[in-house]
Amino acid sequence: MAPPSTEKQLSVYLYIPNIIGYLRIIINFVAFALCYSNKALFAILYIFSFFCDGLDGWFARKFNQVSTFGAVLDMVTDRVSTACLLAVLSQLYRPGLIFLALLGLDIVSHWFQMYSSFLSGKTSHKDVKDKSNWLLKAYYGHRQFMAFCCVASEVLYIILYFLADEQSTSVLDVSFNTLRRGSVLSLLFLLTLIGWALKQVINIIQMKSAADSCVFYDTKRSK
């Protein structure tokens, strides 16, 4: 089988959604360079990058520029962006281990899911039709539900980022005090907390389901 031409390889790198992915990397780099000195600008840049995450998918479908490279680039950019934000929050709050644990869960869950999908011969890690868990199917099968969980998680982290005023701030104290205010911020915080909690549960389910798929692959290969 002849290898793909250099021109074809180059064209994939220059797909519109992939160019948006490169732009997101640059935006995130600038954002985190400013995260300790300019909270407002950091939040604007981070949210804009997150908005572009949905935009690149739309362009990929609109112009039929879906690619494996683009899917990997998109996932890696998402995971690194969230990981960096969680790392920042671990420095602003105590116990910081909470955010580092969330960072680990996010990366491990998605890595297992991506790897098990390729082992199963799937073209996308979002293909969970063969899974038995209804919540995992609802997450990947309904774009609105996935968007709610993802947006809620990111918005919750941004709210916590803004509410942190010193490195010794307790994340539990800040959360309880925010919920007790009875304001619009309290309602927004509660809604994002619900979406965040659902996403963490789904991450755990996804990790276990993907691990089971890897074990099944090993068992089948050893026969």
Place of tokens 């180059």: 10
Q: What fold does the segment set 6-222 form as a domain? A: Four Helix Bundle (Hemerythrin (Met), subunit A) (1.20.120)
pLDDT tens digits, one per residue of 142-183: 999 999 999 999 999 999 999 998 545 899 999 999 999 889
Write the pLDDT tens digit of every residue in 5-38: 565 566 999 999 999 999 999 999 999 999 999 9
pLDDT digits (tens, 9 = 90+) for 187-217: 999 999 999 999 999 999 999 999 999 998 8
State the catalytic residues: 78
DSSP string, 186-202: HHHHHHHHHHHHHHHHH
| Separation of alpha carbons 75 and 77, rounded Å | 5
What contacts 191, CB < 8 A, 6 or more positions away? Answer: 152
CB atoms within 10 A of CB 104: 12
- Which pTM does this prediction carry? 0.90
Query: Token digits for 86?
Result: 């969680």
What residue ranges do the domains of the chain occupy? 6-222
